[in-house]
Structure 1
């Protein structure tokens, strides 16, 4: 069955930080580009959309499409900006998924900075709403948002999972393994895990 994947991309000003080299913005772009390649290799009927957490113009997103060049162009043009609006982005995601059959729908959330305290309860509520519709949600906490990870690990839905990625870790490899469900391959099938790692490295070389 084809998948519909929506990526929430953290382009807030904190993504200029270089604790994740070369910068948080660039490691996200590299990771999403590899994800795009992987998903279209898996199934050419998959569709992918991207929602920046900061949109300088209203509704400046790319809805799920099979048009790989459009997705990559949009991704490359994402710039840093102020005033992250994760609630608005989750509403946009919900609107997109309401028009799809929930099986095969995945929301990937990159979060590098903590939302204001006043929004944290609402963030939980909005995620629960998506989860009850059967949307698979995978959250990637990095940067200051790592502090939030423990609370989210307590979410008791089979279609929810999250990881925290530290600056000392290989961002793209860790995130792609998590999104693609390869996390346990290391112990279950080390040869396959190594083959996947080499494949990811080859994808990175081709993108340069």
Structure 2
């Protein structure tokens, strides 16, 4: 909220003392200039006035320009004794005639000489200021032993919602401006201490006073706003990704690699063919087989003891057909005296006629059955099965012998 401030300077003879470098008056002027600049920068509508307490003269009325304040403070010279009660009442009248009545009222008093009023009078004045909604800050330096007790009672009487402050700076404590800058007076109304004041008033401009450099302050404000929006988008983006992951978290994991179908795809994947294709490729890479041609699980070993001879022969034939039909055919043709068949390749696979011929060869079955675990080739039942198979294919055997004789001629 905008504020109207009257700064009261101590221009008594006590200001000639050198316990503050270089003198009390010079240290007070530096602190006053810093305070006026801070109040003006704190809010664009703030106004500051300046007056002296020994001569009780208003040097500058309420204004928002710091130039006249600096010039008036520079021309102040020590003369006479201060009248604390009268000076504060004059400052109250100046604030009463301010143009913007809605502005808050504040008086800042620099005191470096003894106060002539008693404690009861100061408490009465403090209650009057509190009734008028006037806050007051007091900077006491150089005469802290004589003034501290009175000023504490005065601040207690005028204080309302911690809006008034007392700063006591003993002699030899260092620079008066530094002590003032580290107090709650700079910034007003209990705001954080610091040169420039205002606490977080310029936080939206990156700490830059917009009245001092409007272009830089606006650029910083835009940059901060863009950064804030970018952070909000980053906070929202992980949430959406997590939601999408949660949606597909319950998708069934296939026990064996298989092609991705619409019934097996996770929820929401039916409308995204690219995601389905990516999942299929991932499954293909993990299994090492094509998703369209799944690898068959290894067959369980059958129970030969419970199988009949015909079932055992049929199982042996089924197991040997894919890989051994071509070598068996080559061996049989070689034993018959013919030319050895060409080895089976991917381009020249066994035809159905060759497979049928192998299936009717008794010697092939005899060799095959003899290699099965737990099977005795001399078993009468197996011998009977082989003889029946040989009698069924006897005509073919005679034809093979005739072909052999013709070839030898």
SS in 2 for 1:61: strand
1:125 maps onto 2:124 in alignment: yes
Q: What SS is found at the alignment partner of 1:153?
A: helix
Where structure 2 has 5 or more consecutive residues not aligned to the other structure, the ranges are 195-409
1-structure distance, mates of 2:146, 2:111? 11
Deviation at 1:104?
Answer: 2.3
**TM-score (norm. length: structure 2):** 0.41
- Residues 1:52 and 2:36 are matched in the alignment: no
2:27 alignment counterpart: 27
Judging changes above 3 Å, is the alpha-carbon distance between structure 1 residues 64 and 146 closer, same or farther for their aligned structure 2 residues? farther
* Residue 127 of structure 1, CA deviation: 2.6
Identify the residue that residue 160 of structure 1 maps to in structure 2.
Answer: 164
Mapped to 1, the partners of 2:166 and 2:145 lie a distance apart of 11
2:109 alignment partner, SS class: strand
The structure-2 alpha-carbon separation of the partners of 1:128 and 1:71, relative to structure 1 and needing over 3 Å to count, comes to same
Structure 2 distance, partners of 1:151, 1:83, is 18
- On the 8 A contact 2:118/2:150 being kept in 1, the answer is no
How big is each residue's C-alpha offset from its partner over 1:94-147, in whole Å with a ceiling of 9 and x where there is no partner?
A: 11222344752211111111122x554323322321122111111111112443
Match of 1:176 in 2: 181
Residue 40 (str. 1) matches residue 40 (str. 2): yes
CA positional deviation for 1:37? 1.9
State the alpha-carbon separation in 2 of the partners of residues 103 and 67 from structure 1.
17
Kept after mapping to 2: 8 A contact 1:10/1:53: yes
Q: What's the CA shift for 1:41?
A: 2.1
Which one has more relative contact order, counting CA pairs under 8 Å at least 6 apart?
1
Aligned to 1:10: 10
RMSD: 2.2
Cα 1:9–1:46 shift into 2, 3 Å? same
Shift of 1:163: 1.8
How many Å separate the matches in 2 of 1:113 and 1:142? 8
Question: Cα 1:102–1:175, aligned 2, differ >3 Å: closer, same or farther?
Answer: farther
Distance 1:149 1:115 in 2: 10
The count of aligned residue pairs is: 181
Structure 1: runs of 5 or more not aligned: 185-208
Q: Give the SS at the match of 2:182.
A: helix
Alpha carbons of 1:160 and 1:102: their partners in 2 closer, same or farther (altered >3 Å)?
farther
Give the deviation of 1:183 after TM superposition.
Answer: 4.8
